[in-house]
Amino acid sequence: MLSTKEKSKLTKTQKDAKISKYRADHKELLDFNNAKDTDFNVKTVFTNKGQKIVGLFANECTKPNGFYFEFVDSELDTTDPERTVYVIKERANYENVYKLLAWGQYAVPIEELEVAPKPTKFKQVLNYDAEKLNVENVKKDDDHFSKMTIRDFAAIIWQEPVSDRNWLNDLVNGIKAKL
């Protein structure tokens, strides 16, 4: 038997306003994942035969960039203080994998959901150039990425000056100062 919480008392206008707010809150994450606003919605977790599920419509299972959502209760208030956004990747054979529920959604076990990739500071690094950072010798000493060491990679990802290349450490320090 499917268990649900009580029905929402929100009007359509109130629901639309809350969903718009959630979309605005997660705009950076959606942009980072090349997803449109319409690729995001809120979902309530249900229990079906002891298994926690979320109901997805057919068109939500076939979004090319995946379908993104945050868990909410019946009043569309978040149920997760961390505001985790989940994604289900496009799945062509969803109707053979997920059980169709009486109201037209497919029962997707929450164990199958992935946490959506979040924007990282590394992406911000790619948007900066040497002139904006006033870092000398960046272009002069720059090598092809095939010559990058693990230490260089760590310096970029960690945003810490741990490289053996002074120019890269200066670049990392310059970026840290700008953030």
pTM summary value = 0.64
- Whole-angstrom distance between the N-terminal and C-terminal Cα of the chain? 51
Residue 41 has pLDDT above 70, yes or no: yes
pLDDT of residue 56: 94
pLDDT of residue 154: 86
pLDDT digits (tens, 9 = 90+) for 106-117: 999 999 899 999
Angle between helices 150-158 and 166-178 (to 10 degrees): 10
Domains of the chain, residue spans: 2-115, 121-178
